[in-house]
């Protein structure tokens, strides 16, 4: 709407509702982005830690390709509007995810044996859960804030 001088009360209310809807949709898409990365991360860590040797060898390539596709899709379909919660939580969640992924990588490189036995399943699942926890937390926080509106 370019001409705001002759706008009626109903038209102004429709415009406000349209803008609020755009912000809610953008928040939901950001939450779905977090959930998608969480699923990819979970699948990667399960394959890298608990999979057979052939799966472990190719899991890094699969992670690289999957995250690349998701990031390109996110850039192509990026939003112009974000809610306050989304804008406030993106960088802390990203930083926490990078930190937990680095810790999980260090665990894999230095503590995890090449041929793990059944006693390594519980620590591996815990590492997988910790590595993806920031993404899941961010998605839940954004979805809750968008549903409260």
- Of 149 and 36, more confident: 36
Distance CA 114, CA 66 (A): 25
Question: Which among 99, 20, 37 is positioned nearest to 73, based on CA atoms?
Answer: 37
Q: Is the pTM of this model over 0.85?
A: no
- Of 9 and 124, more confident: 124
Residue 32 has a CB neighbour count (10 Å cut-off) of 14
At 5, the pLDDT band (50, 70, 90 cuts) reads low
Segment (H or E) for 40: helix 9-50
Q: What pLDDT, on the 0 to 100 scale, is given for residue 70? A: 80
Render pLDDT for 67-83 as a digit per residue (tens, 0 to 9).
Answer: 888 877 776 666 666 67
| Length of the chain measured in residues | 149
Query: At residue 3, does pLDDT exceed 60?
Result: no
Render pLDDT for 95-144 as a digit per residue (tens, 0 to 9).
Answer: 999 999 999 999 988 998 888 888 999 999 999 999 999 999 999 998 88
């Amino acid at each position: 709407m370019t001409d705001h001088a002759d706008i009626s009360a109903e038209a102004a209310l429709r415009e406000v509702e349209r803008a609020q809807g755009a912000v809610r949709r953008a928040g939901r898409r950001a939450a779905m982005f977090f959930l998608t990365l969480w699923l990819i991360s979970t699948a990667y860590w399960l394959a890298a830690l608990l999979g057979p040797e052939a799966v472990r060898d190719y899991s890094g390539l699969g992670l690289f390709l999957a995250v690349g596709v998701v990031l390109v899709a996110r850039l192509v379909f990026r939003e112009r509007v974000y809610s306050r919660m989304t804008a406030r939580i993106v960088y802390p969640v990203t930083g926490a995810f990078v930190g937990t992924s680095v810790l999980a990588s260090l665990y894999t490189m230095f503590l995890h044996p090449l041929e793990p036995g059944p006693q390594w399943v519980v620590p591996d699942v815990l590492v997988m859960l910790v590595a993806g926890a920031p993404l899941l937390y961010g998605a839940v926080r954004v979805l809750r804030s968008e549903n409260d509106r």
